[in-house]
Amino acid sequence: MKSTSRIFLLFALSLLMESLAGNGLQAQTPAPQGTRPGSTEITFFAGISAPVNHERKGFGLDVKTGTPIGGRVSYNFDHHNAVEFSLANPFSLSANYVYNFSAVREKWVPYVTAGVGGTRQEIALNDNNQPAQLNSNLMETGPERTQTVFTGNFGGGLKYFFTERFALRFDVRDQVGHYKATFSNVAGVPGGIVTGKQTLNDFQITGGIVFRFGGKP
């Protein structure tokens, strides 16, 4: 009987030690718990641009987009609401509202976002998808063929927190801007002056890494 009691006692002590060790390990490495109120997130991203070309007749504008590369800084007011500022090249600056959905398995955080800002793109006069003669000049800015316009954007994405402080992020958004410019010295046009317009839907697909600071579970 004594040997049996000793076996049960040793078994109980081993279970207690395992429980304490497990609790200590969890305390040292807590789950990421999704979005943290009061935290700041810095994202470095890169991706691709997929502009939508609208069919048109007569003169229009070609707006040349580039590979989006830049950073975002966001502040989480609570588990769901955040504000975010983005800066990217080709030049784009925006301020966004972000709504974070509840975390899935404490690591996956889907979100939607919308905001406003400005962007600068290279533009060229276009006639029925054929570039106009190169001697045309952009009247507002002379030889520099770029234009800065007001833009709106909306989209969403997903963040995966593999630790408390680091995450991967995938983002898809449509950046919408209206471009209008007047060109002179356009061959084949009476007076040589033409005004071109283009509303650009620039779909941007990006991926990046997130660094999170501060906040509380």
pLDDT tens-place string over residues 153-164: 999 999 999 998
Model confidence, pTM: 0.76
Higher pLDDT, 14 or 206: 206
pLDDT at 4 over 80: no
| End-to-end CA gap in the chain | 50
Residue whose tokens read 């504000």? 83
Choose between 132 and 72: higher pLDDT: 72
pLDDT cut 70: percent of the chain above it? 71
pLDDT at 22: 45
Pick 185 or 80 by higher pLDDT: 80
Residue 98 scores a pLDDT above 70: yes
Q: Tens of pLDDT along 122-168?
A: 887 776 545 554 444 555 545 557 889 999 999 999 999 999 899 99
Rounded CA-CA distance 78/167 in Å is 18
Phi/psi for 17 (5° steps) reads -65, -40
Q: Where are the alpha helices (DSSP H) in the chain?
A: 2-28
Note the helical H segments in 58-135: none
pLDDT of 2: 46
Residue 93 exposure: Cα atoms within 13 Å on the Cβ side = 4
Averaged pLDDT score across all residues of the chain: 80
Give CA–CA dist 56/177, Å, rounded: 17
The full set of domains in the chain, from first to last, is 37-214 (2.40.160.20)
**pLDDT surpasses 50 at 43:** yes
